[in-house]
Amino acid sequence: QHSNLESNVITCSAAISACMKCKRWQQAVALLAAMDDSALLPSVACYNSAISACGTCEQWQQALGRLVVMYNANLPPGVITCNAAISACGSGEQWQRALHLLGTMHDASLL
């Protein structure tokens, strides 16, 4: 049963990644929310793909919102997560927020 659960997380992660590549940020965020609703714990990779999807579509607020959800779920973001969030801020011309995230990465010893 554990391997079945793991397969579902992997499958959802692949679907979120596909949404990112197709610039479908709404679907990526919806899939992430559906995982929570179905008691599947999204992995860091799931969040990375969803944050990247938001950033690709200049939805920096949504990207930062996923980052907050990660923190609230005690799922520490990694370098890839923070880079995706910084890129999302850059695509939305939010350079001050990008610099703040960079400083947060430094404080968390992710640099």
Query: What digits encode the pLDDT tens for the residues 70-108?
Result: 989 999 888 999 999 999 999 888 899 999 988 888 787
Cα dihedral sign, 42-19-71-44: positive
**pTM score, two decimals?**
0.85
Helix 25-37 crosses helix 44-56 at what angle (to 10 degrees)? 150
Whose CA is closest to 81, among 46, 108, 32? 46
Percent of the chain scored above 70 by pLDDT?
92
SS (H, E, C) the chain: CHHHHHHHHHHHHHHHHHHHHCCCHHHHHHHHHHHHHCCCCCCHHHHHHHHHHHHHCCCHHHHHHHHHHHHHCCCCCCHHHHHHHHHHHHHCCCHHHHHHHHHHHHHCCCC
The token pair at 1 is 């049963």
- How confident is the model over 46-70, as a mean pLDDT? 94
